[in-house]
Every structure is written in C-alpha cells, then in structure tokens.
A = this chain, B = another copy of it.
Amino acid sequence: MSRWMVWLLVISLPLTVIGEWLHWSEILLFWLACLAIIPLAGLMGQATESIAILSGPRIGGLLNATFGNAVELIIGFFAIRQGLVQVVQASLTGSILGNLLLVAGLSFLIGGIRYPIQTFNRLAAGTNASMMLIGVVIALVIPAIFTLQRPAIGVELSVGVAAITWVLYLLGLFFSLFTHRNIFNYAQDLPDEEAPWGMARSVGVLVVATLAVAYESEILVGTIEHVSKAFGWSDVFIGVIVVAIIGNAAEHSSAVLMAWRDRMDVSLEIAIGSSLQIAMFVAPLLVFTSLAVGNPMTLVFSWPEIAAMVLGVALITLLSLDGKSNWLEGAMALGAYVIMGIGFYLI
C-alpha cells in the first residue's frame, strides 16, 4: 500500500469515530467515511491477494473471484437494510460502468501513451464478452422489459434471473480455474509473485479491515440522504459516481499501473473480471439478501442505467475482441464514461 493511502487511513478513520461521537455534521461525516473506505478497501484487497497467493492458484483464484468486491457487498447490505434500494442499484451500475469504461479506458490510454499497440488474450476477451452479454445485458434487459407488461412479477423474475446468473458465474470460475485453465494461463507467465504478508497476518488484516469497512459503510449510508439534499444531487448520481468510485479506487489504480507496465492482460482481468463479479456474484447476493431482510431489491433497473450498461458492454466488447488496444480506444471509453456521467448528473 502506498504511503499516501496509509496517511489517508491514519487520518480519516479516527476522525470518523470522533466525529460520530461529537455529532459533527452529516455532510462532513459522509466525506470522512468516503475517505476512510478508500484505503480500507485497498487493505482488504491486499490481504485477500496475499491469502490467495499463499493458497495456490485455484483456491486463490476462487478467493479473488468471490471476495474481490466485498466492500460493494458490505455497503450494499447496509443500504438495503436502510431501504435505499435505488442507491444500491445505482452503485452497482456505477461500479460496472466504472470498471468497464473508466478503468479499462484509463488503462488503454495510459498504456497507449507508452506503447503504440498493446496486445492481450483474445480468447479470454471473447469468453468475457459473452459472459457480460448474459450477466449484464440479458440479466438487466429481460426484467425491465418483461415487467413493463406485468410489474407484479418483478421480484419473482429477479430471483430467477439472479439464481441463473449466479450459477453461470460459478460455472465460469470452474471453467477458467479447472477445465480450461490453460486459456487463462497468463498468470503462470508472470514472475512468481511473493505474498507481501504471511497467512496469519493476512487473515488478521482482512478481519480488522472488514469490520472497519462495515463501520464506515453504516455511517456512509446513514448520511447519504443529507448529502443528496445539501448538494442537490440525486441518490442515483451519488450511487453511480461517488459510492462506486470509493469502493474501487484502490483496485483501479493497480489496473492502470499494470497497463503502464504493458501487462494489459492483468489490467483487463481487473476491469472486466471485476464488472462480471459485481453483475453476476454481488448483485444476485444482494437480491437474495434483500429478500431475507424484507426490503426486496429487484433487478428492474431504470432505463438510463440499463442503457448506460448495455452501451458500455457493447463498447468494451468491440474494443477488446481484437486483442489489441491503443490510446484512441482509451479516449473513446473515457469519452463514453464522461457522456454517461453528464447524463446521470443532469437527471
């Protein structure tokens, strides 16, 4: 973890505790919680990564692919408990768009400034594109269009869709970690990575950071309404842009770093793998959780959210299917992200 992340943590975490105790303004608490979650998410990521390396490639891959977006899951849980279902949907949208367009776009652009053309695994890109089509596009368009005719079926249909995408995600893991591991074998070409920490320390860090994230998430969720009133921002804008970015900032920076080192496969694995994880693992879990908690969240997203995600998937599919990237492709993905950001800001 870089030095400024440590400083961010050391300053913002105690301040949130003090601030909550002294009843500081909700708006201040919201931003403090945001700032605290960024390095905590980084810590959790590093601890998970460390445990994954120590557990060998298969169990490690499984760990990364299931706990990699734990922060999203925790924030989503508290938001659902508060009944902020729209904010959760918006933050899922924002995470998917952020990973697909912002992270992949920055990676293409930054890497493309240094290398005229960068290449990556076409086969993996094809499998990922098909998974995104079913996990993002089909899983969101079908509920939205079928409930136009009969809104009452929203919950049932969402549960069915969530169950199937969840199973497909697990089958996808089985495919990439077991039956067709050789297609995704770029990890084996890398120099042996050493785990930064031992197992005991990693587990300890993971547990403590998770508890701290849960604490901060509760504050964040509890203050969203005040921020939305004070700044005149919609819940959706806060979810799509603010909440989505803080949960992924640490991961984002490492994707861009990998692009700069011409390891575009790793970059794209972070960007696209993380989108898939949110759409096919986190979102279904939140649907099931929401039913258990009694505030049912459906997969019936708003049309702007659906349009943005479908177009984002289409753009990244087109940009990645040829297995090559350049700076202009990065600029296009970023341009699309800005266009959508303006849209979500204005509505």
Contact = CB atoms under 8 A, between A and B. Distances in A.
Given A156-B346, A161-B342, A311-B138, A131 B332 contact: yes
A179 B129 CA distance: 28
Interface string A331-347: 11001101110110011
Interface stretch (A2-10, A242-250, A315-323): A315-323
Contacts of A127: 328-329
Interface stretch (A19-27, A88-96, A163-171, A207-215): A163-171
Contacts of A175: 326-328
Interface in A199-258: none
A137 B318 contact: no
A332 B129 contact: no
Contacts of A339: 138-139, 142, 160-161, 164
Contacts of A335: 134, 164-165, 167-168
Interface stretch (A40-48, A77-85, A146-154, A285-293): A146-154
- The size class of the interface chain A forms with chain B is 35 or more
Interface string A290-329: 0000000000001110011001001101110010101111
B343 A157 contact: yes
A145 interface: yes
Given A157-B346, A347-B153, A168 B318 contact: no
A149 B303 contact: yes
A329 B141 CA distance: 20
A179 B314 CA distance: 26
Contacts of A329: 127, 130
A116 interface: yes
Contact of A141 (B150, B164, B311, B332): B311
Interface string A116-143: 1100000100110111011001110111
Contacts of A340: 142
A2 B332 CA distance: 40
B327 A179 contact: yes
Contact of A336 (B138, B150, B172, B308): B138
Given A138-B311, A164-B335, A335-B164, A130 B318 contact: yes
Across the A-B interface, give the 6 residue pairs with the lowest CB-CB distance, nearest first. A153-B346, A160-B342, A175-B328, A146-B343, A145-B307, A168-B335
27 contacts: A116-B179, A123-B322, A127-B328, A130-B329, A133-B311, A133-B314, A134-B335, A137-B311, A138-B315, A141-B307, A142-B308, A142-B340, A142-B343, A145-B303, A146-B307, A146-B343, A148-B303, A149-B303, A149-B347, A153-B346, A156-B346, A161-B339, A164-B335, A164-B338, A168-B335, A171-B328, A175-B326
Interface of A: 116-117, 123, 126-127, 129-131, 133-134, 137-139, 141-143, 145-146, 148-150, 153, 156-157, 160-161, 164-165, 167-168, 171-172, 175, 179-180, 302-304, 307-308, 311, 314-315, 317-319, 322, 324, 326-329, 331-332, 335-336, 338-340, 342-343, 346-347
